[in-house]
Amino acid sequence: MSCSSIKQRFDMLINNQGGVNFLEANNLYSDLIGSLDAHRLELQELEQRGDYSRADQLRQHIADGEQMLEYLRSMTLR
């Protein structure tokens, strides 16, 4: 699943349910880890090919995904 799809799913849960339960947060976290790992592999390939423009865009996308990951990591249960 792409990072943008994960972000949309997260936003939908927040807006429609008023929050995210533990299972949903865990699933989002796992999906995001997988997506970021795939993006990092793609980044290596782009750099090896010398496609620095797309690599720069992907680095920003990875940074956005890592920011969301940090948000998920900082969540607490109530």
Q: What is the largest CA-CA distance in the chain?
A: 48
Q: Which domain holds residue 7?
A: 3-74
Count of domains forming the chain: 1
| pLDDT tens, residue by residue, 31-54 | 999 999 999 999 999 999 999 999
Share of the chain above pLDDT 90, in %: 85
**Residue found by looking up tokens 């989002």 in the block:** 28
| pLDDT tens, residue by residue, 6-16 | 999 999 999 99
Q: What is the per-residue pLDDT for 3?
A: 84
Q: What pTM, to 2 d.p., does this model score?
A: 0.87
Q: Which amino acid is at 72?
A: L
Q: Are 35 and 3 in contact (CB under 8 A)?
A: yes
